[in-house]
Structure 1
C-alpha cells in the first residue's frame, strides 16, 4: 500500500460499479437546484419560526405546553417510569402522555425496544411539520435537521447494559447500540421526513437545544438550507438522576427558581421542535410566521466543570452577543425566559449576568423560569424554552415562575412570581447555560416588529493557521506523515478488533493540577489544542473559541460512572466522575485550562463529528462571532466502545472486514483572514468551502449509489468556487468498512474521473479515528503540500455511520491571503 490511491479502495469502487444503476437521474437532481450562493441575496437572509411542536410533562403538544405554563401549572410529580430508590428525590417532570410516532425507526435495525428520547423527538417533529403547512417550494436537499441532546440514546444503553449484566440480553440487543449515539436521532429525523440537506447534532449538555437553534440559523443565513427542523430531546435516565444526586443538586419538592428558599432543581424529560424557514420563502408559501430569530450569542465560562462563574461573566458575554447580532438595545428586551434551574449558584449567577449585560434596563425586564413547571429537560431545555418564548411573544404574555415564595436579594429581578401577566413586548431572549461552562442566548422578535434589519454580518475568508496532533503514529505531523507514506499499518489485535492506541504522556502537555479530574478524552483534546495554538502562535482570549468534534464522546467516564450504579445503588455514583459524562466536558476542559472563552460548541455527528465541528467553526468565523476558533477532534476507545463495535452486525460477520479503530486528538486552528493577517500569522491554507448532505434512508444505513456523498462533494466545490479539474487530491472517508466504503467509492470514482486526481485513503493504514477523520486528512494534506504533493485544492470527505456526508475544500493561500 502506498500513500496514493490504494488497491483495496480501487477494488471496492470497481465492485460497487458492477451493479451500479444509471446515475444520470441523481446528477440531474444535483444540478437542478440552485447553488448555495445563488440562494443567498446580497442582504442577510432573515430566519423565521413558522411552527412548533412539543412533548412535555404538561401534555402532548405545544398547545398543552403553553396552556400549562401560561397558567403556572406545575407538572412535576412522582416519577413512575424509573426505579427511584436511592435518589435524593422521587419527583420530576415526567412525560405521561406521548403519541407513538408514525415513523418506524426500528424497521432498519430490528427489535422492539424503543428509545424514549427518539420517540419524543419524532412526535414533536410530526406536530411541528404538520403545523407548518405546505412548504413544497423547499426541495428535499434544501431541508436540514439540527438536533440537540444531552444524553442521546443513553436510556437504551442503560437497558442493554443491565440486561447484559443480568444475563438476559437477546440477539437483537447489539443492533440497539445504533440508537445510543446523539447523531442517531438527527439521522432518524432526516429519514422520517425525507430531508436530504444538512444534518447535525450538537451536545452542549443543558444548552444543546439553544446551540442547535444557533447553528440552524447560521445554516439558513449562509444559504446552505432554506428550511430546518430544529430542536432537542432527552428522556429520564438512571445516569442523570444518580449524577445529580451525587452532586446534591436535586430538590425534594418542585423547583423554585429565583426564590430565596430554593434548594435544587427538578429533572424533566421531553422534546421541543421548531420549523425555521428563510423569511421570503415562508411568506411566499403562506406559512404562519410566529416569530423571527434576530440573533444569538455563544460563549465559554472557562471557570468550572459544573458551577457557573459567580458574577455570570461568560453568560453575560453570550447575552451581549445576542443583543449585538440582533441589533437590539438593552431596553428593547421585554422578557427573558431564564435558565432558572432552582439551584442557589445558577440562579444568582444568571441574575448577575442579566444585570451585567442589560445594565439599568435589567430592573425593568421580566425574567421567569419554565423549569419551575416542567423540570429541567437538559438537552431539550433550550428548544422547549425557545417555544415558550415564541408563544409568549405571540400572546404578549409573560409566563410565571411557579413555586416562588420570597424574593432573594442575590437574584432580585422580576421573576413573574406564581402568576403570569400580560406584557407588551417586541423582543425577548432565551437563556441556556450548561455544564462545562457552555453558554447560549437566542434573541426572538414578534412578527411585524419595529426593529431595523439586524446589522449585516461579516462575510470573509477563513484560513488555517495551525494544527496539533496526538495520534497512534506519534505526537507530531511529521510522524503522522512518515507513517502514512511508509505504508506502515498501525494497530494490534485487542478485544476481537484491530486497535491503534495513542500512546502519549499527558505530563508533556498538561500539569498535574490541570489534570485533576480530567478524563482521557479531555487530556487528548487539551493536548492537541495546546499543540495547535503553539503552532499557530496564538494566545487565546474571549475572542478565541473552541468547537470540539467527538463521535464516541465520554464513554469511558460514562462506563466508570454508570456500571457501579447498575451493580449496586445510586450511592455508588461518583460526583468526581459525573461531570465528565457530558459530551462537551472536553471542550469545557479546553476552555478552562487553555483559555478559549469565545464561542463554544460540541458536534457529535458520529464518524463525521470532526468535520461537522469544522463547518460550525467556519460559519461562526465567517459571520464574525469570533476572531479564531480551535477545532479539536478527540476519541478515546473504552472497553464498552470496543464491545459495541465488535458485536454490532453493522461491522461483524461481513466478508472483507479490514478496519482498524484508532484513538487520538487532532486540532486545527481556524481564523478570520483579516485577524490572521493583522497579527502576522503564517497562513497554511484557506478553508474555501463545505457542504453537508444526508442520505435519509434510516438509522445505520447508506444510499448504495453514493448520492449523498456526491451532493456533499459537489456542493462543497460549488461553494468554494473550485472546479473538479482543479482538484489535486480527494481525501476519502474509506476505512475498510465495506458497507460505507462502497457508496463513497462510487461517488469519488465519478468525481475523480472528472478531476483526474488521486483518491487518498489514509485511514486504511493509520486507522479509523472515528470523529477525527477530517482533521487527520487535513493535517496530511497540508503537510503534503510541503512534501512533494501538488499544492492545489483538495477535497476532504467524512461520513457518519448513518448516511450523513460532509465535504470540505482546502486550498493553498492565494496572494491576497498569504502573509
Structure 2
C-alpha cells in the first residue's frame, strides 16, 4: 500500500505449472487425466482405513521425491511439504526465469511466495505429539514444520527468494486464495515473480474428521448426480509461477494464461455447510469478474468446487446462477474432484492448473461418474466426456469450511486490460484487545508503562496467559461450538466495532470484510479432536470439534457472530501473522474491495504448544495469549459515515531472509529492506519517524538482528520500544499488539508522529508498517 501517485497495475502471466496428484507426478499427468475423465480415486494403501465409510481416496501412488529436503529433520518425512517441494521443482524448472542477478532471472528480492494449505504440517505435529504422549523424545525441530508458514519459508530457503513469503489458510479455498493474493503482489508492484499454489496430504485425522461428518462417499464422488453419496478426499500439490507482463515480455516467456482477477467473500452462515441460497459464494464470483473487468457472458468455462455432497452441490449451482446471471445457462461447468478427490488447501491450485489447460487446449474436461441429473443441479456439467470450448475466459471456484469463498478469473489471449481502481487512503477507526493485561488497549498501555512483567514461570518457560471472563461477552449457546481462539477473535472484533462506532446490518454487511492472522492456529481444537482418536480409533472422532481444527475456523466464527460478509481470509505468517493480516486488510480496503475490514490477530496457548516452544531456543522470552482486532476503513467511507479516525496506515513493506524454516539473517538485512519499503511506500524519510515499535521479545539472535537493521537505517534515530519483552510474545498477535500500543500512546501524548511497527516470524519473514496519527 502506498500514498504515492497512482500507477497502472501490471498484468499477471502464468508462465509455468507443477503438480503432483493421484493422476501422476506432473502437471501434464494432471491435465491429461482430467481431460480424459480418468478417475484416480482408488483404495488407500498407506493409511489403515478400517472403521470409515470408505476405503477410497485420491492417493498419490507415483511419488516424485523432491531433490531438496528444505532443512527437515533427518529420519522424518512430511508428505505435505514434500508434495509442495516436488510441484515447486517442476514449476520452477519449467519457468524459464531464475532467481538472482544473472541474465534471464529476477532479483531474489523481487521473488515472492504465497502458499495455501488446510492441514499444512499436520503429519509433523502428529508425529511429535504422539512421541510426547508415549514419553519419548521427539526431535524438537518438528513443531517448527507444523504451521502453514513453514512451507512458504521452506520454499523460500530452497530458492533463496527474499521477497514476501506468505501463507494463507482459508481451508478448502486456500489454494485459490493464495493464487489471487500472489497475483495482487505482482499487480501492485510488490513482486515481479511469485511461486504460488497449495498443498495437503491425507492423514488419519483428516479422514476421521470427514467420516465423523458423514461426508465421505463409499464410491468415487459423483458431483451433481442425483444419486451422489458424498465427497472423496485426495492429496497432492499444485504450483504456478506468476510473473508481471513486463518480465514475461523482456525474457520472452511463454504465457500460458493470465490471472485477470479474483474475489473473496464470506457466508457468515455455518461452520461447515454453505449458505443454501448461494449468495455468499455468488459475491465472490461477482467480485472476481469486477476486478478482472470481465462480463459474465464472456465466461465460457467454470471449474466448479463440486464436492459431491448433498448440501454443497445445489448451493453452488445457485451461486453460479446468481454470479453469472443469464450467462450461467450456457456455460460449461465441471468438477475436477470427481477424478482426483478433494485436495483441501491444494484443491484451488490444482483446479486452477486444470483451468489453464482448458484455456490452452480449448477443451472442457468432464465431470466424471455422472449418472442421473439432480433437478436442483441443472447447469451444463459436461458429463463424463470432455468437449471442445471456444472461450478466452474461465472461472475457478472454491468454497470452504467457515463460509470462506474464493473465485479466480483466468484468461488467455484476451486483449482487454483489467480496470485500475483508484486507491484510497486507509484509516484506523477502532481497536479491540484481550491480553494478559486485561481487556482494552488501556490495560495494555498501563502494563507497559508500569514496566509490569506479565510472564510467570511454567516449568522453565515464561507464560503470560490471558485470564479473560468470556462468559460476560458470549452466551452459553454462542460458546458451545467455539474454542478459545474463536472466542478471542469474536470478542476482540466486537470491541473494535464498538470502539469505531460501526454497526453492521443488512445494508452494509457485505461491505465489511475480515482477515485473521494466527501463528499456531487452532491447536486447542486439534488436540481435543486428535487425542481421543489416537486413543480409541475412528469412533471417537467428534463432529462437533472437527470444524474448529481448520485455521480459518475463528475467522468463520467472527463472520457468523459479527455479521461481516465481505472479503474474508486467514493468514498464517508465523509470529508476523497479525501484521500480515493488517497489511492484507489494508490493501483490500484501499482497492475498494470493501468499505471496512476487521484485521484480527489471535493466538492461545495449550500445554502442548508451550512444550513445543520449550524445545526451541528461547533466550528467556515469554509466550503470551492475545486477541486483538483493528478496524480499518477506506478514508472516504469512514468520513462519509461520520467516523473519527485515530490513525492512518501510510505504507508497509514485506521482505524475507530466504534462509528457510527457523532461520533469519543475523545482520537483519530482510527486516531492513521491509522497513525501507514501508518508508518508501509512505513517502517518508527515516528522519520523519519518531518511534519504532520493535519486534524484540528477548530472543537474543533475532533481537540483535533487529538492532543491527535499526542502526543502519536510523543511526541514533528514534525511540525504540520493545513492549513484548515485558508483555510477552503473543505469537501471531504481536504486530497487532504493537499497533494498538502505538495508537494508545498517541492518546497519552507519547511518541506522537509517524512510527514504524515491526513484526518478524522465526523463519525470517518481516513486516514493517508505517502508522501515523489521523489528520
- 1:199 and 2:165 correspond: yes
**Contact 1:685–1:812 at 8 Å: present in 2 too?**
yes
Partner of 1:315: 281
Distance 1:221 1:460 in 2: 17
Q: Is 1:709 aligned to 2:671, yes or no?
A: yes
Moved more, 573-582 or 153-162: 153-162
Aligned counterpart, 1:638: 606
1:326 aligned residue: 292
Alignment of 1:189-228 (within 5 A): 189-228=155-194
CA deviation digits over 1:406-436, x for unaligned, max 9?
A: 1111111111011111111110000000000
**CA offset digits 1:254-312 (Å, max 9, x no partner):** 10001111111000000000111111211111111011111111000000000000011
The match for 1:148 among 116, 128, 145 is 116
The alpha-carbon distance between structure 1 residues 501 and 36, as it changes in their structure 2 partners (threshold 3 A), is closer
Specify the alignment match of 1:501 in structure 2: 465
Distance of 1:699 and 1:594 partners within structure 2: 36
Contact 1:428–1:444 (Cα < 8 Å) also in 2: yes
Within the candidate set 456, 477, 490, 2:420 is matched to 456
1:547 to 2:515 alignment: yes
1:478 corresponds to = 442
Partner deviation per Cα, 1:218-260 (whole Å, 9 max, x = no partner): 1111211111101000011111101001000001111000111
Residue deviations 1:534-574, cap 9 Å, x none? 10111231100010010010000000000111112011000
- Of the candidates 183, 199, 205, which is equivalent to residue 233 of structure 1? 199
Residues in 1 aligned to 2:666 and 2:654: alpha-carbon distance in whole angstroms = 17
Which residue matches 1:611?
579
What displacement does 1:137 show? 4.5
Conservation of the 8 A alpha-carbon contact between 2:365 and 2:385? yes
How far apart are residue 134 of structure 1 and its match? 2.9
Q: Would you say 1:684 and 2:636 are equivalent positions?
A: no
Q: Unpaired runs of 5+ in structure 2?
A: 99-103
Structure 2 residue aligned with 1:663: 625
Residue-by-residue CA offset, 1:137-177 (whole Å, 9 max, x unaligned): 4211000000000001001111222333344x44x522111
Distance 1:642 1:495 in 2: 10
- How far apart, CA to CA, are the structure 2 residues paired with 1:543 and 1:403? 39
**1: CA distance, partners of 2:683 / 2:203:** 47
Give the Cα separation in 2 of the matches to 1:82 and 1:90: 9
Indicate if the aligned counterparts of 1:301 and 1:309 stay in contact, CA closer than 8 A. yes
User: Is 1:537 the equivalent of 2:537?
Assistant: no
Q: Within 5 A, what are the aligned runs for 1:578-589? A: 578-589=546-557
User: Which residue is equivalent to 2:80?
Assistant: 117
**TM-score, length-scaled by structure 1:** 0.92
* Kept in 2: contact 1:57–1:95 (CA 8 A): yes
The one of 686, 690, 696 aligned to 1:728: 690
Contact 1:44 1:457 in 2 (8 A): no
Once residues 666 and 342 of structure 1 are traced to their aligned partners in structure 2, the CA distance between those partners, rounded to angstroms, is: 38
Aligned residues: 766
* Partner Cα separation in structure 2 for residue 212 and residue 496 of structure 1: 39
State the Cα deviation string for residues 59-90 of structure 1 (Å, max 9, x = none): 01000000100000000001111122222211
Superposition deviation, residue 722 in structure 1: 1.2
Most deviating of 778-787 and 139-148? 778-787
Are residues 1:162 and 2:124 paired?
A: no
Q: Quick check: 1:231–1:274 contact (8 Å CA) kept in 2? A: yes
Q: Distance in 1 between matches of 2:592 and 2:297?
A: 24
Matches within 5 A, 1:420-431: 420-431=386-397
**1:806 counterpart residue number:** 767
User: For 1:561-618, what per-residue CA distance to the aligned partner results, in whole angstroms no more than 9, with x for missing partners?
Assistant: 0011111201100000000000000000000000010000001011000011111111
Mean CA deviation greater in 493-502 or 520-529: 493-502
Q: Give runs of aligned pairs for residues 228-267 of structure 1, distance below 5 A.
A: 228-267=194-233
Equivalent position of 1:86 in the other structure: 51
Contact (CA 8 Å) 1:79, 1:94: kept in 2 or not?
yes
> Secondary structure of the residue that 1:632 maps to in structure 2?
strand
Q: Provide, for residues 366-418 of structure 1, a one-character-per-residue CA deviation record: whole Å limited to 9, x for no partner.
A: 11000000000000001110010011000000000011111111111111011
Match of 1:175 among 141, 145, 150: 141
2:745 is aligned with 1:780? no
Query: How far has the Cα of 1:741 moved from its partner?
Result: 1.5
- The residue that corresponds to 2:728 in the other structure is 767
Q: Is 1:340 aligned to residue 306 of structure 2?
A: yes
Contact kept in structure 1, 2:426 and 2:635, CA below 8 Å: yes
Q: Distance in 1 between matches of 2:369 and 2:735?
A: 49
Deviation at 1:36, TM superposition (A): 8.7
RMSD: 1.4
Equivalent residue number for residue 511 of structure 1: 475
Q: Is the 8 A contact 2:19 2:236 kept in 1?
A: yes
Distance 2:383 2:199 in 1: 28
Pick aligned residue for 1:789 from 741, 750, 768: 750
Deviates more, 1:509-518 or 1:629-638: 509-518
- CA–CA distance in structure 2, aligned partners of residues 760 and 563 of structure 1: 41
| Residue 472 of structure 1: how far off its partner (Å) | 0.6
Q: 1:134 is matched with which residue: 97, 101, 115?
A: 97
Q: Distance in 1 between matches of 2:708 and 2:46?
A: 47
Kept after mapping to 2: 8 A contact 1:53/1:125: yes
How far off is 1:752 after superposition? 3.4
Match of 1:738 among 685, 689, 700: 700
Which runs of 5 or more residues in structure 1 are unaligned? 1-34, 652-656, 815-819
Distance change in 2, residues 1:522/1:622 (3 Å): same
| Structure-1 residue corresponding to 2:67 | 102
Aligned to 1:45: 10
Q: Deviations over 1:324-345 (max 9, x none)?
A: 1111111111000000001010
The secondary structure found in structure 2 opposite 1:806 is strand
Greater Cα shift, 88-97 or 67-76: 88-97
Q: How far apart, in 1, do the equivalents of 2:521 and 2:131 lie?
A: 23
CA distance in 2, matches of 1:515, 1:398: 46
1:635-690 deviation per Cα after TM superposition (whole angstroms, max 9, x unaligned):
11011101101123x33xxxxx2211110201101111110111111111110111
Tell me, in whole angstroms, the C-alpha distance in 2 between the residues paired with 1:749 and 1:549. 29
Equivalent residue of 1:542, what SS? Answer: helix
How many angstroms does 1:37 deviate by?
9.2
Give the Cα–Cα distance (whole angstroms) in 1 for the partners of residues 357 and 685 of structure 2: 46
Following TM superposition, by how much is the alpha carbon of 1:41 offset from its aligned partner in structure 2, in angstroms? 7.6
Structure 2 Cα separation of the partners of residues 461 and 74 of structure 1: 50
In 1, Cα distance between the equivalents of 2:447 and 2:131? 42
Aligned 8 A contact 2:3 2:683 in 1: no
The answer on whether the counterparts of 1:218 and 1:619 sit within 8 Å (CA) in structure 2 is no
Match of 1:569? 537
Q: 1:609 to 1:402 in 2, by over 3 A?
A: same
Structure 1 contact 184–699 (Cα < 8 Å) conserved: yes
Q: Which residue of 1 aligns with 2:261?
A: 295
Matched residue SS, 1:68: helix
Quote how far apart the aligned CAs of 1:194 are. 1.1
